[in-house]
Amino acid sequence: MTFLAPVAMAIAAALAFPTLLVLYLLKLRRRPVRVSAALFWPVARKEVQANVPFARPRFSWLLLLHLLALACAVLALGRPALTGVGAGAGDRVIILLDRGASMSGVDSPEGKSRLERAKQAAKAMVDSQSRGGQTTRIAVVGFGAEASTIIGFTTSRSLLQGAIDGITPTDQPSRLAPAMDVARALAGDGEETSISCVLISDGGIEDLEKVGPAPGTLRYLPVGGGLAAGGAAAPPDRPDNLGIVAFAGDRAPDEPSQVRLFAQVCNTSASAVSAGVVLTLGDKELLRRGVEVPPATAAGPGMLALPLETRQPAGGVLSLRIDRPDALASDNQAWLVLPEPTRPLVWLVRPEGTAGSNGDSLPAGSWMLEAALGEMRVAGVVTLNPAEYDSRAARGAFEGVSLVVFDRVSPKQRPPVPTLAFGAFVPATGLEKDAGERGPTPAVFWSREHPVTRSLSLDTLDVAGSLALRVTNKDSTEVVRGAEGPLVVASLDAGTPRVDVAFDLTRSNWTIQTSFPIFLASAIDWLTSRGQSMKCAAVLTGEPATVSAMAAGELSVTPASGGPAAMTTMASGPGPVRIGMLERAGDYVVQGAGAKATSHLAVNLCNLGESTLETKPELTIAGHTLATGGLGPGRREVWPWFVMAALALLCVEWVAYARALN
C-alpha cells in the first residue's frame, strides 16, 4: 500500500493526536455544590481522578476508541492506495493510438498489420485497468496527420473495446502534436497527477520537435518491426517494402502532347529488389517497365530515380503502380491528374488603319509583335481595331478569350481578362499615368525574380520615349526600370494579372533582340497561368486539398473506384473550395452543383518516412526519453474504507460511553 498525499497526512497527525491527548489530560473546572446524599460519590471520584492535569493517564477504552477513530481519519487524508489492482477511482488514462500510413505495414509472423497489433495492445490495457470492478476512466485518441477523440472518458470496458475495434487505418503521415492538443483538451483542469498517457505507435512520427507537454505522465508502447505488441525485442529484420515516394509531371512547353513524368522509388530491404512498374491513363496501359531498386544501407533506404515519357494529346488520370506485393500496399501506387493541353486565344487590338493581316501598312514593331504572337503556341490571334474592341467589350463578349494585347491603344473599358499593353495604358490597381512623356533611356534595372523578366538580359535595350507610368502600391511591381521611371510594370488587378510596357515597340530596338520573344513567352505564361495549367496535379494525404467550384452548391468527393463519399461540403460560389485532408490515397471524383462535370482529385502518400517502415524502440520528446511499456499494475485508492472505519469506531465509542454511564 502507498500513500498519495503523505504530506497532508503528516500535518493532520501532528495537529490531531496532541490535541486529543491534551483534551484527556486537562482538568475540568468545577464549582462546589451541596448535595442531600453521597450515593453518587464513587462515580464522581473516578471522573475527577481521570481529569487531573498532567497526571499519568489511566487506561480508558474511550481514549483507545478515540485514538483509533482519529488514526483512521488521518490515514484517509493520506489517500492510501493498493497497487496491482487497477488504476483506481479518480485516475484517468488517455491512450494515443497511431493510425498513420506506416501502421498499415504487415511485418509480423502472424500476418497482422501494426495497427491490428496496436489495437490488441490497447484492448489488453483496457482489460488490465478494468479488473476487479475498478473505476478507471479511459479515453482513446486516434491520430494520423490530424487527431480526433475516438471515445471520451468512460469506465465501460465493452464501450472502450468496441471503439478500439472501430479504429480504421489512414494513409496519412503520423503527427503527434495534434493528438497531444486533443489529450490536453480531454484532461481539462484536472490534477495532472491523475492523468496517464500511453502512446501506442511504431515511432514513425514526423513532428516530434513540435510536440508540446503531455497532461500528466507519458509512456511509449512501441509496436511493429522487430518488436512485439508489448515492446519485447525480436530479431531486427528489415521490412520488405518498395514504395513510390515522389511522383510529378507536366506537358512539354514546346510540345504540349508530350508528357514528362518523374518518379522516385525506395527500397527498405537489405537486398536489391526487381519489380515491374506500370503506367496507365484511366483503364488504358501506357507502358510497363522492369526496374531494380538498390538495397537499403545504414544511411537509409535504397533509392531509384525513374524518368518516364509518353505522348498523350488528351487529359485524364495517370496512375503509376508497382506490380509487386510487399509490406505496405498504400505506397505501391500514385496518381496524377493530367490536364488537357491548352492554347490561349489572344485578341490583338491596334489602331484603325493598321488592322490588315497582310502587313502592308503595319509599322515594323507591330508587324514583329503579330508575327511573334503567332509563334507562341496560342490557339489563335484575332486582330481588332478600337471600334471593334469597344463593341465587343460593351456586350461583354470575352468568352473563351485568354489574353488581350493592346498595341498603342488605351481601352475605354478595361477587360475582365489578363492584358498585355505596348505603348498604351490599361488602368490597374496600384498603377497610374502622369501627363506628358519621359525621354530616351536605356534599361537600367530589371527583376531577376519576377517570372516575366527572370530569364531576360536587357543590357542593350534602348527606348526613345515612354509613358509616364507610376507605381502607387504593392499590387503593382516595376519589373523593368529606365533612368526616369518604370518601363515595364506587372500588376495584380483584383486578382487579374496585367503587364504594361510603357513604350511603343516602334520607338525601341527591342523587337530585333532575342530577349523580346523570351519576354513575350514569359509574359503570356504568367498572364494566362499556362505554366501552371500544363503541370499534372496531385495533393498529399498530409496536406489540405482544394477543389474548384463553378457555382454555389453541395460538393461531394467520392473515390473513383466506388463507395461512399469521403467528404461532403458546401461551395458558397465560384472559386477554390478547401475541403481539408483526405485519409486515404487514391483517385477521387468531385461531383455536385458547384463542380466541373469531369473534375478529378489525385491524392498520394509519397512520404519517405512512412514508406521506410522504421520502428523506433524508444522516443525522445523535448530532450526527454519516454519510458517504454504500458501502464503496468495500476493502483486503487482505499481511503473510503478508512473513513467508514472511523465512523464505525465512533459508533462503538458512543455505545461504550452510554453503557459506562448506566
Classify domain 92-233+617-632 at the CATH topology level: Rossmann fold (3.40.50)
Strand partners, 221: 200
CA distance from start to end of the chain: 42
3-state secondary structure at position 624: strand
Comparing 5-19, 42-56, 155-169, 344-358, the range with the smallest average pLDDT is 42-56
Cα–Cα nearest to 366, from 380, 379, 352: 352
- Domain spans in the chain, listed from the N-terminal domain onward: 2-81+643-661, 92-233+617-632, 242-341, 345-531, 539-604
pLDDT for 76 beyond 90: no
CA-CA distance, 542 to 548, in Å (whole number)?
Answer: 20
Multiple choice CATH, 242-341, 2.60.40.10, 3.40.50.1110, 3.50.50.60, 3.40.50.720: 2.60.40.10
Q: Are the beta carbons of 96 and 143 closer than 8 angstroms?
A: yes
CATH of 345-531, one of 3.40.50.880, 1.10.565.10, 1.10.3720.10, 3.40.640.10: 3.40.50.880
Nearest CA to 604 out of 589, 581, 586, 580 is that of: 586
Contacts of 147 (CB under 8 A, 6+ apart): 141, 175, 178, 179, 181, 182
- Quick check: 583 pLDDT over 70? yes
Is 50 exceeded by the pLDDT of residue 358? no
530 vs 132, which has greater pLDDT? 530
SS3 state at 437: strand
* pLDDT classification of 266: cutoffs 50, 70, 90: very high
Mean pLDDT of the chain: 85
Average pLDDT estimate for 111-116: 93
Predicted TM-score (pTM) of the model is 0.65
User: Letter for the amino acid at 456?
Assistant: L
**Distance between CA atoms of residues 403 and 418, nearest Å:** 5
In the predicted model, what is the mean pLDDT of residues 349-357? 69
Identify the pLDDT of residue 53.
Answer: 54
pLDDT, mean of residues 295-309: 93
- Please state the rounded mean pLDDT for residues 482-506: 92
- Worst-scoring range by mean pLDDT, 99-103, 162-166, 187-191, 299-303? 187-191
In this structure, are strands 624-625 and 545-549 parallel, antiparallel, or unpaired? unpaired
Q: How far apart are CA 10 and CA 543, in angstroms?
A: 56
Measured CA to CA in angstroms, residue 50 lies from 17, 39, 65 at distances of 18, 20, 16
| Beta carbons of 541 and 145 less than 8 angstroms apart | yes
Q: Which residues contact 216 (CB under 8 A, 6 or more apart)?
A: 92, 187, 192, 193, 194, 195, 196, 197
- Higher per-residue confidence, 626 vs 172: 172
The CATH code for residues 539-604 is 2.60.40
The residue type found at 509 is N
Among the residue ranges 16-20, 87-91, 401-405, 593-597, the one predicted with the least confidence is: 87-91
Name residues whose C-beta falls within 8 Å of residue 650's C-beta, 6 or more positions apart in sequence.
65, 69
Residues forming a β-bridge with 620: 625
Question: Which residues pair with residue 199 across a beta bridge?
Answer: 96, 220
In CATH terms, are 242-341 and 539-604 the same topology? yes
Q: Kindly give, in sequence order, each residue whose CB lies less than 8 Å from that of residue 283, ignoring residues fewer than 6 positions away.
A: none
